[in-house]
């Protein structure tokens, strides 16, 4: 298999331009709302936007490792996106979490944004230092994938068993409260079944789906159904665990791995790709609303 660098893959001529335009439109809307609603210095908010946008682009277009790629994405989501979304109603509304002695004033927010800008700049500086080391990128597929001999024979059954197990355990956990984020378990099973239940829903099932997806790439299979299976796993896991972030943690790493290595895997029709993006956002919004209602 021909080895391709991450920069080559990301600059491929079949880049999904429609997705880029949609992302830019959403970003422009969020920035405008945040810029209008921000109560402090507009210039500082502009620098805040530029610094975290540059950080995000450095992770997506010039990734060195998956760790840096995911770090930049979730820093952008946790700082810029979450902060900007706070002003979408054209006005600031206070956070419900305890903020100690923090003064929710214009000067207080300006000071907080300066600290965030310094942090994002430090992360990009560390990435620049990594560039001068001898370590190469670990993002692109660099060797031929060889699945186990038995996988192709039992592939359909394994995927069906995995999906049935995810849905079944998620429903049981949601009904009986075996292990949910921030809550005391309502049902105590024999040790260590509570911990095993949480591990499967938070990590284990996602790892199994990633493994099957990796083997499907090696078999050159059509990846449409496995991608939908990943979305289903993330939806049931995040609602069952009552954790809004689980959906993103389970879906984004796997979808990004597919996007970055799209030149080395089975091609996907543009209509299927657009539909997957639409379903991703619908399920994400649905998961956030569901978890919020259930927690309330």
Q: Are residues 155 and 264 in the same domain?
A: yes
More confident residue, 289 or 272: 289
CA distance 24 to 16: 13
Q: Are residues 70 and 176 in the same domain?
A: no
CA distance 45 to 129: 27
Percent of the chain predicted with pLDDT > 70 = 84
Q: Are residues 173 and 112 in the same domain?
A: no
Supply the pLDDT for residue 162.
94
Supply the pLDDT for residue 163.
94
**Single pTM value for the model:** 0.63
Q: Are residues 159 and 291 in the same domain?
A: yes
Q: Are residues 116 and 245 in the same domain?
A: no
Last residue within a domain, chosen from 131, 159, 188: 131
CA distance 68 to 259: 16
pLDDT in tens, 213-246: 888 888 888 888 888 999 999 999 999 999 888 8
Query: Is 87 part of any domain?
Result: yes
Lowest mean pLDDT among 54-58, 179-183, 230-234, 258-262: 258-262
Computed from CA positions of residues 290, 251, 21, 114, in that sequence, does the dihedral angle turn out positive or negative?
Answer: positive
Supply the pLDDT for residue 70.
80
Mean pLDDT of the chain: 82
Q: Are residues 165 and 259 in the same domain?
A: yes
More confident residue, 58 or 132: 58
Q: Are residues 86 and 206 in the same domain?
A: no
Q: Are residues 156 and 273 in the same domain?
A: yes
Q: Are residues 109 and 206 in the same domain?
A: no
If one counts every other C-beta atom within 10 angstroms of the C-beta of residue 145, the result is 15
**CB-based contacts of 186-189 (< 8 A; 24+ apart in sequence):** none
Q: Is 107 helix (H, G, I), strand (E, B) or coil?
A: helix
Checking if the pLDDT of 127 tops 50, the result is: yes
Checking if the pLDDT of 273 tops 90, the result is: no
Average pLDDT over residues 130-146: 70
Last residue within a domain, chosen from 78, 100, 131: 131
Checking if the pLDDT of 134 tops 70, the result is: no
Query: Is 140 part of any domain?
Result: no
pLDDT in tens, 68-82: 888 888 899 888 988
Q: What H or E segment, with its residue span, contains residue 30? A: helix 17-37
Checking if the pLDDT of 90 tops 60, the result is: no
Checking if the pLDDT of 125 tops 80, the result is: yes
Range of the domain at 12: 6-131
Query: Is 268 part of any domain?
Result: yes
Average pLDDT over residues 20-47: 86
More confident residue, 51 or 21: 51
Checking if the pLDDT of 67 tops 50, the result is: yes
Query: Is 258 part of any domain?
Result: yes
Q: Are residues 52 and 85 in the same domain?
A: yes
Q: Are residues 180 and 280 in the same domain?
A: yes
Work out how many domains the chain is built from and give that number.
2
């Amino acid at each position: 298999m021909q080895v391709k660098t991450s920069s080559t893959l990301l600059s491929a001529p079949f880049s999904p331009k429609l997705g880029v335009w949609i992302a830019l439109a959403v970003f422009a809307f969020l920035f405008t709302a945040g810029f209008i609603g921000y109560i402090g210095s507009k210039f500082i908010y502009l620098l805040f936007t530029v610094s975290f946008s540059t950080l995000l682009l450095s992770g997506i277009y010039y990734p060195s490792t998956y760790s840096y790629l995911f770090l930049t994405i979730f820093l952008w989501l946790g700082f810029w996106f979450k902060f900007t979304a706070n002003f979408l109603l054209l006005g600031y509304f206070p956070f419900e979490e305890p903020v100690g002695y923090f003064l929710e004033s214009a000067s207080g927010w300006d000071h907080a944004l300066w600290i965030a800008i310094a942090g994002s700049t430090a992360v990009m500086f560390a990435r620049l230092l990594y560039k001068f080391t001898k370590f190469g990128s670990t993002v692109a597929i660099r060797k031929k994938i060889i699945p186990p001999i038995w996988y192709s024979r039992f592939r359909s059954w394994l995927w069906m068993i995995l999906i049935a197990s995810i849905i079944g355990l998620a429903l049981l956990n949601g009904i009986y409260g075996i292990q949910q984020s921030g809550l005391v378990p309502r049902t105590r099973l024999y040790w260590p079944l509570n911990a095993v239940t949480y591990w499967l829903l938070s990590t284990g099932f996602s790892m199994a789906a990633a493994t099957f997806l990796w083997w499907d790439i090696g078999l050159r299979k059509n990846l449409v159904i496995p991608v939908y299976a990943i979305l289903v796993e993330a939806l049931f896991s995040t609602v069952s665990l009552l954790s809004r972030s689980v959906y993103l943690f389970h879906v984004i790493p796997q979808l990004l791995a597919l996007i970055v290595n799209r030149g080395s895997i089975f091609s996907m029709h543009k209509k299927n790709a657009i539909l997957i993006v639409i379903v991703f956002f619908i399920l994400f919004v649905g998961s956030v609303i569901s978890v919020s209602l259930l927690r309330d």
